[in-house]
Amino acid sequence: MTAAHYIGVDIGGGSTKIGLVDASGAILARQRIPAREGQGADRILDAYGTAVDILLHEARIARLGGVGIGFPGHIQADFTTGMNSNVPALDGMPLADILSDRFGCPARLVNDADAGALAEHRFGAGRGVGRLLMLTVGTGIGVSLVVDGLPFDAGNCCLGDAGHIVLVSENPVRCRQGCLGCLESVASGAAIELKAREIYPGAAGGSATAALVRAAAAGRPEALAMIAEAGRWIGMAAATWCNIFAPHHVLIGGGLSAAGQSLVGAIRDEARRRAMPYNITNTEFTLAELGNDAGIIGAAAVVMP
């Protein structure tokens, strides 16, 4: 008999979220572990293990169906070890083997952007979609493709660095990773935060984007114009992704998706204006549904039957 409870681990640079998930994709309980500067892999894994122990103890669960681990970097072909992440202490560690041994159940890694897309495909706004393209507009811009329920990976990591597609010819600036005039240089969360601070200088501590989203929701023209501009850049890139992958459905998630239809509409309209009609006429563009929970749910989904 298959145990009907799973653990989803969503590893992030700032904190790691761990959830107890049932077979319907519901998160029954969760733990959050803040990242600590300079902490080694042993301590980090011990904290993960303790968090899982607490979840199992409180829910009185004796046996797990599996542990899925969303990893913010590249995944090696055996799905046990990750590389090139923003949590360098965990790079090269056989995380899946270690957690599998500790909890006596299958464990497996998945790229974190892929985890979000898988969660939406199985339990969210992308249910049953044949070719699902997921855009996560967060600090960067993640691009994942799910084909017939499986992530389509380039280089063991979602669609590689598709968020760095080069678009800007006039006065290009460099993105944080060093390319010149890419999508992330103009429309990632990091780029939008910088622009938003020019209008909302009072919003210190990385919250100018939140102020921007609130102003857009209130119908303020300058905020709507900034969201529309970001949407146009993302839509231009989406036109190319649609020409390559012809997705049936494009989902938009991540922090900036709090701007809602003003962002989705701008992305859709620009993509439709630019792409080959054949590749995009029947493509739907909608908001993702699962928000920040998608990382936990999608990680758990990779160890579900």
Minimal distance, residue 164 CB to Zn ion, in Å: 4
Q: Given the complex with Zn ion, which of 13 and 128 has the nearer CB atom?
A: 13
Which of these segments, 32-40, 57-65, 151-159, 177-185, binds Zn ion (CB under 5 A)? 177-185
Instruction: Name the one range near Zn ion by CB under 5 A: 18-26, 126-134, 160-168, 247-255.
Output: 160-168
Question: Of 159 and 175, which has the nearer Cβ to Zn ion?
Answer: 175
**Interface with Zn ion (CB under 5 A), residue from 184, 193, 270, 293:** 184
DSSP 88: G
Nearer to Zn ion, 179 or 199 (CB): 179
Distance between CA atoms of residues 137 and 187, nearest Å: 8
Q: How far apart are CA 82 and CA 115, in angstroms?
A: 14
**Binds Zn ion (CB under 5 A): choice among 179, 190, 211, 244:** 179
Contact 18, 55 (CB under 8 A): yes
In sign, the C-alpha dihedral spanning 19, 22, 25, 29 is: negative
Distances (CA, A) of 181 to 132, 172, 186, 221, 233: 27, 4, 8, 26, 11
Among 74, 122, 164, 232, binds Zn ion (CB under 5 A): 164
List the one residue from 56, 64, 119, 182 that touches Zn ion (CB under 5 A).
Answer: 182
Count of residues that bind Zn ion according to CB under 5 A: 6
Centroid of chain to Cα 231: 18
**Token pair of 153, please?**
């990976």
Q: Which of 9, 55, 175, 192 binds Zn ion (CB under 5 A)?
A: 175
Q: Which of residues 91-130 bind Zn ion (CB under 5 A)?
A: none
> Burial letters for 122-143: b for 16+ Cβ neighbours within 10 Å, e otherwise?
bbbbbeebebbbbbbbbbbbbb
Compare residues 177 and 282 and give the one whose CB is closer to Zn ion. 177
Give 125 or 175: the residue with its C-beta nearer to Zn ion.
175
What helix, strand, coil percent values describe the chain, rounded to 5?
Answer: 45, 25, 35
66 contacts 304 by C-beta, under 8 angstroms: yes
* Residue 162 contacts Zn ion per CB under 5 A: no
Q: Which stretch binds Zn ion (CB under 5 A): 51-59, 178-186, 265-273, 282-290?
A: 178-186
- Interface with Zn ion (CB under 5 A): 164, 175, 177, 179, 182, 184
